[in-house]
Structures are given as C-alpha cells and as structure tokens.
C-alpha cells in the first residue's frame, strides 16, 4: 500500500496531497456532524490529467476512492467510511470559458458556485442554481448530487442545467462530453448517467452549464397564509397571473420562523400578526414584473388565499426576507437536534401529506416539534422535527430510522420521493431498496458493475448491496 501511496503522491506533486490528520479532519465530517469518516490520504489533484492518472492507478491496484467537492452534502455521500483515499476536486477551480451567444459556461469541478454565479453576472447572464451553501459548494459536487435549491420551480434541478460534462471513468479514461449544444439527439445521453450518481460511476472534472438572462427586476414577498392548502392555491394564482415567472415559492412554518427569530441576530418578523404558515415567494423578469406580482398578490388577499404580505421595497429588504428562509437550517441547528427528512410529493398532495405525517410522527413521539419548510413550489419539503427543549439528544436521535420510515411510507403513499434533492449517500440506501422496484434496483446495480467493475468509486454509496 505504501508503494501505491508513493506513486499517487508523485502523480499529484507536493502541493497535491496531505497525510496530516489535522488537515484531513475537516474533510471527514459532514456539516450536521451526523457522519464522520476516516482516510489516510487526501489527494488534491489540480488537473483532469492528474485525476485520470490517480484513478488509473487506483483501478490497477484495486484502491478505493471517495471524491469530494465542498463537503456540503447531507447524506454522507462524500465521506470515506472505510479508510478510502479521499480525492478533493477543489484545486480544479478554473472557469474554462463563458460564451454569451451560447449562453453557457464551462467550469471545472472545484469552482465554487458563487464564483460561477459572479462570472455569469459579469456577462449580464445568470447561473440558475441557488442554494444556502452556495459560498462553499462546488460545481462537481452540485452535478454529482443533482442539486436543487430555491430556483428549481423556474429553472429545474442541476440535471436540467448541464449541457455537457467531462468525466474520469473508473479505469482512468477521460470521457469528453463537454459540449454546449442545446440539441444533440445522437444516441444515449451519457452525461445524464453521471449527474446525481454521487461519484459512484465516474468523477466529474468539468461541466458546461446553461446560463439564463439576468433578470432586470425581482419582486419578493413574505406572505402569511392560513394553511398549506391556501399556500398551494396561492402558488397557482401567482403562476397564472405572472405567466410562470415565479422563480421561488418557499414554505415557512411559524415554528420555523420562531426559531429564526430566537437564534439569528437581527432577524425580524416582517408581519405584524403571527400566522401558522408563510410563503416566501419571488417573481423575476423584465422591468415591470413587480407591478404584475403585486396585483396578483392583491387578488390572493381579496380571495382570502393570503392573509397579509410584506413586499420587499429594496434589495436590502429582499435580502432580509431571504435570510429568514435561508437561516432555517442554522436556527434549527442552534436550537438543538432534529430528525430530518428531504422529501417530495406532488404539490396537490402537499397539504394532506404534511397533516398526515405530522399526526403520525407526533403520535409516536408526542414531544417532537414539527418544523416543516422548504421548496413547496416543487413539492419538496424539509420535513423536520425538533427535539423538545431539555430532552436527551441521544435518546431522541435514536428514533431517526424509525421516524424516517414512518415519514417515507406516508410520502410513498402520496406518490412522492424519499429523497427530493439531497440524494441517497449512505443515509437512504435502505430507503432506495424499500421504495424502488426490484427492476430499478437491479438496473442500478448493473450500471454500477458495468461502469465500475472493481467497485473503487465511492463504494458503499447510493447503490444498495
Ligand atoms: Zn432545500
């Protein structure tokens, strides 16, 4: 093994590796501290050729690797649990090109999302993807996990943003699919295999992303609604009246807002009277979209679909409204442990799902405090249950699997998915086996065996044994 390590270190050069446990440590633990791994060697290749040479050697020697981007994943997909070699892609951090006419950008895997957003913005264009961890998360990780976020309603998940990919295969070959074509109907769309594959089929080293026109104007409101059913009615009204120009439609429960107000410095309730539910919604487009948006909100208020609304009158107010939504995870973390779910159901089933699942979980765990929130416009809910204050954390978190299965069963009954945007990793492999058909699971195994016959790429993740 030491001989293999020596060869790997020679490939990446002195700046491209570390064996120092203190330097490796931050790469071994995920953000929520739910998963901790171990790895003797962190490789930080700087080029696709180095990644290729590393993987080729690992293939020859049967050495397992775990690729990692910004380490913001939430299901353990980026953590080496069995002493695998960790490959951080963060030194592949070049934007290789941006073409205004093609409205596309080619970024290497380690480019941080905000860097790509800035490059597009400078060209009067926009990367559609936006999520809370955008200052840390990388393009390769976003592609590999098919990331979602707050703009999926309008622009789709990462899968829909990717025009082309460069991927290092399990034997070290570089698969160049880095095209920026909008139409390419020339056989299997192979790049799709690697999007959302969590590094189990290949290592993404670069991606060509779609860019969109930068909106001239954004209209943002924090709206009180009486219940979730009304929230989904509000969605329909706003989509109809803005002709589909909503880019975000986020549900916030009063319980969630209370946590933000309690824990996030400077957070203020934008509305005078409390409401059990809120929606943070935003439309964007050409100048004048705000007038259309406000008249749509007035209609919703007249119809009783909405009770009150705070409309952002400046960019600073807009940022304050968004901070309420984006701080929910942080506020939950500061409050204490939560049992968490990332699920989706059809929008039409969301109200019924939330009521049914809250009843089922609180029947089992009466002290659990429901804090559901999320991307209601996509039917994606971060369906969380906060521990009661002063309760025993270990005892509470011991219920994770049991509560998860209760929630996932109800999701399944409502025609939904046990993983909306966070992926499978290690956390949801059992769920994948439980809810996918035998044919789907077997086809996934077949793909894994075909593309990674030695099982060296992120083994033990995503695909059930
Ligand atoms: Zn989310």
pLDDT digits (tens, 9 = 90+) for 146-195: 999 889 999 999 999 999 999 999 999 999 999 999 999 999 999 999 99
- Report whether pLDDT(1) > 90: no
What is the Å distance from ligand 1's center to 123 Cα?
27
DSSP state of 391: S
* Residue 195 CA from chain centroid, whole number: 13
Listing DSSP states for 47-93 in one string gives: SHHHHHHHHHHHHHHT--EEEESSS--SSSTT--SSSPEEEE-TT--
What is the Å distance from ligand 1's center to 342 Cα?
8
pLDDT digits (tens, 9 = 90+) for 74-91: 899 999 999 999 999 999
What is the Å distance from ligand 1's center to 396 Cα?
23
For residue 208, the cross-strand partners are 106, 164
Q: What does each C-alpha distance from 271 to 254, 321, 328, 332, 433 come to in angstroms?
A: 12, 11, 17, 21, 45
What is the Å distance from ligand 1's center to 246 Cα?
17
What is the Å distance from ligand 1's center to 73 Cα?
11
pLDDT digits (tens, 9 = 90+) for 261-289: 999 999 999 999 999 999 999 999 999 99
For residue 374, the cross-strand partners are 251, 381
Distance CA 315, CA 312 (A): 7
Distance CA 218, CA 286 (A): 9
For residue 384, the cross-strand partners are 371
pTM summary value: 0.94
In this predicted structure, what is the pLDDT of residue 322? 96
In this predicted structure, what is the pLDDT of residue 99? 98
Q: Average pLDDT of 332-348?
A: 96
Domains and CATH numbers, the chain: 95-213 (3.30.465.10), 217-320 (3.30.70.2190), 336-422 (3.30.70.2740)
- Report whether pLDDT(23) > 70: yes
Task: Name the band, by pLDDT with cuts 50, 70 and 90, for residue 34.
Answer: confident
Distance CA 61, CA 265 (A): 52
């Amino acid at each position: 093994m030491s001989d293999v390590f020596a060869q790997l270190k020679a490939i990446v050069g002195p700046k491209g590796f570390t064996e120092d446990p203190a330097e490796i440590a931050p790469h071994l633990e995920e953000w929520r501290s739910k998963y901790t791994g171990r790895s003797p060697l962190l490789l930080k290749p700087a080029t696709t050729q180095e990644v290729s040479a590393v993987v080729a050697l690992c293939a020859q020697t049967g050495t397992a690797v775990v690729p990692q981007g910004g380490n913001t994943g939430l299901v353990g997909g980026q953590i080496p649990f069995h002493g695998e070699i960790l490959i951080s892609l963060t030194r592949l951090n070049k934007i290789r090109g941006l073409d205004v006419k093609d409205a596309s950008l080619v970024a290497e895997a380690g480019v941080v999302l905000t860097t790509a957003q800035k490059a597009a913005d400078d060209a009067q264009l926009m990367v559609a993807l936006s999520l809370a961890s955008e200052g840390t998360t990388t393009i390769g990780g976003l592609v590999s996990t098919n990331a979602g976020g707050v703009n999926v309603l309008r622009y789709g998940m990462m899968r829909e943003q990717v025009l082309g990919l460069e991927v290092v295969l399990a034997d070290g070959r570089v698969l160049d699919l880095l095209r920026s074509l909008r139409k390419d109907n020339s056989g299997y769309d192979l790049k799709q295999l690697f999007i959302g594959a969590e590094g189990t089929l290949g290592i993404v080293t670069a991606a060509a992303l779609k860019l969109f026109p930068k909106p001239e104007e954004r209209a943002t409101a924090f709206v009180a609604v009486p219940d979730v059913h009304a929230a989904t009615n509000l969605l329909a009204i706003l989509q109809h009246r803005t002709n589909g120009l909503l880019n975000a439609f986020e549900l916030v429960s009063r319980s969630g807002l209370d946590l933000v107000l309690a824990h996030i410095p400077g957070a203020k309730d934008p509305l005078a009277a409390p409401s059990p539910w809120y929606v943070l919604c935003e439309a964007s487009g050409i100048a004048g979209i705000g007038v259309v948006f406000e008249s749509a909100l007035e209609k919703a208020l007249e119809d009783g679909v909405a009770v009150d609304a705070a409309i952002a009158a400046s960019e600073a107010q807009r940022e304050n409204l968004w901070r309420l939504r984006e701080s929910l995870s942080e506020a939950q973390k500061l409050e204490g442990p939560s049992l968490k779910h990332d699920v989706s159901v059809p929008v039409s089933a969301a109200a019924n799902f939330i009521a049914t699942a809250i009843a089922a979980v609180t029947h089992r765990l009466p002290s659990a405090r429901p804090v559901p929130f999320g991307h209601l416009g996509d039917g994606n809910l971060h369906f969380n249950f906060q521990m009661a204050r002063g309760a025993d954390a270990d005892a509470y978190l011991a219920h994770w699997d049991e509560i998860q299965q209760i929630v996932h069963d109800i999701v399944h009954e409502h025609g939904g998915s046990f993983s909306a945007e966070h992926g499978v990793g290690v956390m949801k492999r059992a769920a994948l086996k439980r809810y996918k058909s035998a044919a789907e699971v077997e086809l996934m195994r077949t793909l894994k065996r075909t593309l990674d016959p030695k099982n060296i790429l992120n083994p033990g993740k995503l695909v059930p044994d």
